[in-house]
Amino acid sequence: MPAAPRARSGAQPPEPLRPQRPLAQAARDAARQVPVAGLGLDSAAVRLRMVQRLRGDGIACEPVLQALARVERHRFVDTALATQAYEDTSLPIGHGQTISKPSVVARMLALLHDSECARAQGTLGRVLEIGSGCGYQAALLSLLSRSVLSIERLRPLHEKARQHLHGWRQGDVRLIHGDGRLGHAPWAPYDHIVAAAGGEAIPEAWLEQLAVGGRLVAPMQDGRGGGQVLVVVDRTASGLREQRLGAVHFVPLKSGRE
Ligand code: SAH
């Protein structure tokens, strides 16, 4: 903290006007250019304000709001963007991809929390995430679930998520570099499947790997010439039930890995 300026005694002459800042003043100003860690982003208060806004916007799922209050979103984005981390905005994470807006993430996680098996257990069970990106949503999921398996097709982002989640001890999170359209059959079935990228249709593998009582939440092309919509699929004992919610805008679900 810079020292508070001393009160000037009335006896001193007024400071002369100078076209440039005196050196000492410039040094003091430079000292005030504090790094991100000093901007208050580390404080829980800034996340609580974001959570209050989400609550005001109608997100009512307390466990999800608590997870959003805990995970430091600014640590998952580039330092240059850190000051925008708690605004309700998507942000670039490199390689043409984006981290979704907090309100969209909150809505998707709240939908998972409202699934039959989460309601029965009070928590999310085994989660499959497609599109690890920078690892932010995987971190949130790990606070909300028994285990998370997250797949990313772009190696640099897979590595970035791994770096961001290094030492993350909140839950069981596994990251895989691969094509998430195939899901991950060896560990199926999953109680929850959530995708951060949208394709023409929901891949067959996801539906096959969804447990009974489980729920899938993903963006998908509407197919009627419109853009993407958010799709919720529940697997009940008697089969699959699909709901289409409002319009969304996610990056495309692509095939293969790079
Ligand atoms: N949940 C992420 C959001 C990342 S954006 C976060 O919190 O940062 C969506 C991601 O999906 C991108 O990184 C993109 O590369 C990835 N993606 C697109 N198609 C994919 C596929 N078939 N398999 C795995 N990841 C895919």
User: How confident is the model over 121-173, as pLDDT tens digits?
Assistant: 889 999 999 999 999 999 999 999 999 999 999 999 999 999 999 988 777 89
> Is residue 37 scored above 80 in pLDDT?
no
Q: Is 150 in the pocket of ligand 1 (CB under 6 A)?
A: no
Q: Is 130 in the pocket of ligand 1 (CB under 6 A)?
A: yes
| Angle of the 62-70 helix axis to the 44-56 helix axis, nearest 10 | 150
The C-alpha angle with vertex 207 and arms to 205 and 212, in degrees rounded to 5, equals 130
Q: Is 142 an active-site residue?
A: no
Atom number of ligand 1 nearest to Cα 76: 8
- The residues with which 147 forms a beta bridge, in sequence order, are 126, 172
| Angle of the 62-70 helix axis to the 136-144 helix axis, nearest 10 | 130
Cα–Cα distance, 187 to 142 (Å, whole number): 17
The residue whose CA has the least distance to atom 13 of ligand 1 is 133
> Which whole number is the average pLDDT over 31-46?
61
- Residue 43's pLDDT band (cuts 50, 70, 90): confident
> Is residue 26 scored above 50 in pLDDT?
no
Instruction: Write down the pLDDT at residue 8.
Output: 40
Q: Is 181 in the pocket of ligand 1 (CB under 6 A)?
A: yes
Distance between Cα 113 and ligand 1 center (Å): 21
**DSSP annotation string for the chain:** -PPPPPPPPTTSPPPPP-SS--HHHHHHHHHHS--GGGTTTTSHHHHHHHHHHHHHTT---HHHHHHHHHS-GGGGS-GGGGGGTTSS--EEEETTEEEPPHHHHHHHHHHHHTSHHHHHHSSEEEEEEE--TTSHHHHHHHHHEEEEEEEESSHHHHHHHHHHTTT--SSEEEEEES-GGG--GGG--EEEEEESEEBSS--HHHHHTEEEEEEEEEEEE-SSS--EEEEEEEEETTEEEEEEEEEE--EEP-SS--
Distance between Cα 141 and ligand 1 center (Å): 15
Q: What is the mean pLDDT of the chain?
A: 87
Which member of 9, 43, 90, 100 is catalytic? 100
Are 86 and 106 a contacting pair, CB within 8 Å?
Answer: no
> Which whole number is the average pLDDT over 107-115?
96
Distance between Cα 156 and ligand 1 center (Å): 12
Distance between Cα 175 and ligand 1 center (Å): 12
- Say which range, 26-40, 49-63, 118-132, 155-169, has the weakest mean pLDDT: 26-40
- Residue 28's pLDDT band (cuts 50, 70, 90): low
Name the token pair of 181.
């359209």
Q: Domains of the chain by range and CATH?
A: 20-248 (3.40.50.150)
- The residues with which 195 forms a beta bridge, in sequence order, are 130
pLDDT tens readout for residues 190-223: 999 999 999 999 999 999 999 999 999 999 999 8
- 151 phi/psi in degrees, rounded to 5: -115, 135
**DSSP annotation string for 89-115:** --EEEETTEEEPPHHHHHHHHHHHHTS
Atom number of ligand 1 nearest to Cα 179: 23
Instruction: Write down the pLDDT at residue 40.
Output: 62
Q: Is 108 in the pocket of ligand 1 (CB under 6 A)?
A: no
Q: Which residues of 86-102 are buried (b: 16+ CB within 10 A; e: fewer)?
A: beeebbebeeebbbbbb
Tell me whether residue 193 is exposed, middle or buried, using C-beta atoms within 10 angstroms of its C-beta: 0 to 12, 13 to 18, 19 or more. Answer: buried
> Is residue 102 scored above 70 in pLDDT?
yes
- Residue in the structure block whose two tokens are 């853009």: 227
Q: Is 253 in the pocket of ligand 1 (CB under 6 A)?
A: yes
> Is residue 95 scored above 70 in pLDDT?
yes
Cα–Cα distance, 161 to 144 (Å, whole number): 18
How many Cβ atoms are within 10 Å of 55's Cβ, its own excluded? 14
Q: Is 142 in the pocket of ligand 1 (CB under 6 A)?
A: no
Distance between Cα 137 and ligand 1 center (Å): 11
- The residues with which 17 forms a beta bridge, in sequence order, are none
Q: Is 152 in the pocket of ligand 1 (CB under 6 A)?
A: yes
Atom number of ligand 1 nearest to Cα 196: 9
